[in-house]
C-alpha cells in the first residue's frame, strides 16, 4: 500500500484542488489517501468529496496552533505549512496500522501535480527513496545527483548546505522505517527550508537515499501552485445582500 498524506486547509480553491488530486489518485492501485484537515474539526466539504471520490481514504484533522499560524499578509514562506497535519498522519500510521505492514508513505500537498508513474517508482522504497521535483526552489527542477546508483549530491540553488535539500514532494519513506524510528517527525520549529531535513535526519543519512526515476533524471512531480482567486465582485454583491447563493458549495 502507498499511504498518501495530504494536509489541506479551507480556502476558495480547496474543493477544486482536492477534486483534481482525487482524480489522479483514483488511477493508482493499492493506495490509501490520508487527508488531514488544518481545522478544529472535520468539515462536510472535505468529508463529502472524499466519500464521492472513489479513493480509499482516512479523514483526519489537526489544527495549526494559533501561535504558529500565518497571519493574512504574511509572506507564504514565513511559517511552515501542513506540519501539524503531517505529524498527525505519522501518529495515525504508527498507532493504527497493523505492525509489520509493508507500506510506503508519501507526503503529497494538495496543489502539486503528480504523474501516475511516480507512484509506481516509489512502491519499491525500502528506506527513503528520492527523485527530482519540477518548478521548485526557483529552478526548472531540483534533483539528487547520482553516481554508481548512489546519491552523491544535490542540484539545488537554495541553501545547499541543508542536510537534505529536498522538497516535500521529492521523497517517500517505508512505513517499517517510520516504526523503527518512533521519534522521527517534522519539527514545527524548523528553520525555513529545514522541515524535510527535520524528518529525514531522524531516519537515514544522505548516502542511504534510494534514487528512483531513472537515477533521478525524470521529472514526475511538479511543485505547481494555484492562484488565489480574486473575489472582489462577490464582496460587493454580498454587501448589497445579493452574493452568490451560499447553499451552493464551490
Ligand X SMILES: O=c1ccn([C@@H]2O[C@H](COP(=O)(O)OP(=O)(O)O)[C@@H](O)[C@H]2O)c(=O)[nH]1
Question: Which amino acids are annotated catalytic?
Answer: 196
Q: Which is nearer to ligand X, 36 or 173 (CB)?
A: 36
Cell of 112: 502539486
Give me the helices (H) in 97-170, please.
116-122
What is the size of the binding site for a copy of itself (CB under 8 A)?
50
Q: Which stretch binds ligand X (CB under 6 A): 52-60, 93-101, 106-114, 178-186?
A: 106-114
13 binds a copy of itself (CB under 8 A): yes
d(CA 201, CA 164): 8
Q: Which is nearer to ligand X, 1 or 113 (CB)?
A: 113
Q: Where are the beta strands (DSSP E) in 88-149?
A: 104-107, 113-114, 128-130, 133-136, 139-147
**Ramachandran angles phi, psi of 209, nearest 5°:** -60, 140
**Residue 30 backbone class (left: φ over 0; alpha: ψ -120 to 50; beta: rest):** left
The sign of the torsion formed by the CA atoms of 51, 54, 57, 62 equals negative
Cell of 53: 471520490
Site string for ligand X, 141-160 (x = CB under 6 A): --------------------
215 binds a copy of itself (CB under 8 A): no
109 binds Mn ion (CB under 5 A): yes
Site residues (CB under 8 A) for a copy of itself, limited to 27-46: 27
Q: Which is nearer to ligand X, 40 or 76 (CB)?
A: 76
Site string for a copy of itself, 79-118 (x = CB under 8 A): ----------------------------------xxxx--
164 by DSSP, 3-state: which?
coil
66 binds ligand X (CB under 6 A): no
113-114 and 221-222 as β-strands: parallel, antiparallel, unpaired? antiparallel
Q: Which is nearer to ligand X, 110 or 196 (CB)?
A: 110
Q: Which stretch binds ligand X (CB under 6 A): 1-9, 87-95, 116-124, 145-153?
A: 1-9
Query: CA 242 from chain center: how many Å?
Result: 38
**Residue 63 backbone class (left: φ over 0; alpha: ψ -120 to 50; beta: rest):** beta
Residues 43, 139, 150, 176: which binds a copy of itself (CB under 8 A)? 139
The sign of the torsion formed by the CA atoms of 140, 190, 40, 36 equals positive
Which residues are near a copy of itself by CB under 8 A? 12-13, 15-17, 19-20, 23-24, 26-27, 113-116, 132, 134-135, 137-141, 143, 155, 157-158, 217-219, 222-227, 229-234, 236-237, 243-245, 248-250
Amino acid at each position: 500500500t502507498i499511504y498518501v498524506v495530504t494536509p489541506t486547509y479551507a480556502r476558495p480553491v480547496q474543493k477544486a484542488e482536492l477534486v483534481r488530486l482525487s482524480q489522479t489518485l483514483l488511477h493508482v492501485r493499492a493506495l490509501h489517501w490520508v487527508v488531514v484537515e488544518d481545522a478544529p474539526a472535520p468539515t462536510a466539504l472535505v468529508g463529502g468529496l472524499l466519500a464521492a471520490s472513489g479513493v480509499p481514504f482516512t479523514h483526519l484533522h489537526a489544527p495549526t496552533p494559533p501561535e504558529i499560524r500565518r497571519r493574512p499578509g504574511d509572506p507564504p514562506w514565513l511559517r511552515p505549512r501542513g506540519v501539524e497535519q503531517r505529524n498527525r498522519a505519522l501518529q495515525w500510521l504508527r498507532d493504527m496500522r497493523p505492525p509489520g505492514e509493508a507500506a510506503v508513505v508519501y507526503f503529497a500537498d494538495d496543489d502539486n501535480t503528480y504523474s501516475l508513474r511516480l507512484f509506481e517508482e516509489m512502491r519499491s522504497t525500502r528506506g527513503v527513496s528520492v527523485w527530482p521535483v519540477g518548478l521548485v526552489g526557483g529552478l526548472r527542477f531540483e534533483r539528487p545527483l547520482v553516481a554508481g546508483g548512489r546519491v552523491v549530491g544535490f542540484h539545488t540553488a537554495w541553501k545547499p548546505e541543508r542536510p537534505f535539500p529536498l522538497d516535500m514532494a521529492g521523497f517517500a519513506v517505508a512505513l517499517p522505517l517510520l516504526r523503527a524510528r518512533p521519534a522521527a517527525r517534522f519539527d514545527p520549529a524548523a528553520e525555513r527550508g529545514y522541515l524535510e531535513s527535520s524528518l529525514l535526519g531522524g531516519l537515514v543519512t544522505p548516502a542511504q537515499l534510494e534514487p528512483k526515476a531513472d537515477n533521478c533524471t525524470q521529472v514526475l512531480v511538479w511543485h505547481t501552485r494555484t492562484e488565489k482567486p480574486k473575489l472582489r465582485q462577490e464582496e460587493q454583491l454580498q454587501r448589497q445582500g445579493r452574493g452568490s447563493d451560499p447553499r451552493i458549495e464551490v
